[in-house]
């Protein structure tokens, strides 16, 4: 299936309203499903939910955290990375700064901040964490808890070439426009499941990254 899932007007508001909405709607409560294999995070797609239930029975849960870094320009942007081409998993794909939650991380937030510093050199002094988005499950068994954060402009980045090939910004207005949310489908053991894609210029944003951005749209931009 291709096309836009929801025919709706794009979210048109500036950074102040976006961050005010995010602060009003998000919290730092850690969902039990982050580490409990007996709880399957719902996706809203029947095929994906069945896939996640199968994976939960077959392999350990892999808790992860990412940072949705919304840069507070006059027209806000979202920081995204392109994973290094030599990596074993998800090589070359577009992603958020983030990764597995280590036992030494005090919280998913701390894991996301640590990973953002290690991967792209984004210093904590520029980051104002707002709250956690909904838990997101993937076909690799990861349970991803995204932290939405306001990032003050003026930062300087340092790419860790062992993990990242590039870092770039995409206008928030583009990502929060449902007209740019393509829906595709693929099969997992004969089960059809859908996934999002949001192509931008020469960047192909898809899979978990696009899916998390769609959740951001639904949580913050819809009434």
Q: Which fold has domain 15-176?
A: Nucleoside Triphosphate Pyrophosphohydrolase (3.90.79)
CA dist., res. 141 & res. 99, Å (int): 13
Q: Please say whether the beta carbons of 21 and 175 come within 8 A.
A: no
pLDDT given at position 87: 60
In this predicted structure, what is the pLDDT of residue 178?
A: 95
24 by DSSP, 3-state: which? helix
Record the tokens describing residue 198, joined without a space: 């949001």
Give me the tens of pLDDT residue by residue for the chain, a chain 223 residues long.
333 444 455 555 678 899 999 999 999 999 999 999 999 999 989 889 999 999 999 989 999 999 999 999 999 999 999 988 666 555 468 999 999 999 999 999 999 999 999 999 999 999 999 999 999 999 889 999 999 999 999 999 999 988 899 999 999 999 999 999 999 998 888 888 899 999 999 999 999 999 999 999 999 999 8
* CA 94 – CA 80 distance, rounded (Å): 7
Residue 10 has a pLDDT of: 57
Is residue 82 within 8 A of residue 166, CB to CB? The reply is: yes
Q: Domain boundaries in the chain?
A: 15-176
Instruction: Report residue 105 as tokens.
Output: 């991380």
């Amino acid at each position: 299936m291709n096309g836009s899932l929801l025919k709706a007007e794009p979210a048109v508001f500036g950074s102040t309203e976006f961050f005010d909405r995010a602060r009003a709607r998000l919290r730092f409560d850690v969902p039990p499903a982050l580490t409990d294999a007996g709880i399957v995070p719902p996706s809203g797609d029947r095929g994906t939910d069945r896939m996640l239930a199968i994976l939960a029975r077959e392999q350990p849960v892999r808790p992860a955290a990412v940072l949705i870094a919304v840069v507070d320009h006059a027209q806000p942007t979202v920081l995204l990375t392109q994973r290094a081409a030599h990596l074993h998993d998800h090589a070359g794909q577009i992603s958020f700064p983030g990764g597995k939650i280590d036992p030494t991380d005090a919280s998913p937030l701390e894991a996301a901040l640590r990973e953002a510093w290690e991967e792209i050199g984004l210093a904590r002094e520029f980051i104002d964490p707002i709250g956690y988005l909904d838990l997101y499950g993937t076909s690799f068994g990861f349970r991803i808890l995204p932290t939405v954060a306001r990032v003050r402009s003026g930062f300087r980045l340092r790419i860790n070439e062992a993990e990242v090939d590039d870092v770039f910004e995409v206008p928030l207005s583009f990502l929060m426009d449902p007209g740019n949310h393509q829906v595709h489908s693929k099969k997992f053991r004969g089960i059809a499941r859908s996934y999002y894609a949001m192509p931008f210029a020469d960047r192909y944003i898809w899979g978990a990254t696009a899916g998390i951005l769609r959740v951001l749209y639904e949580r913050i931009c819809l009434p």
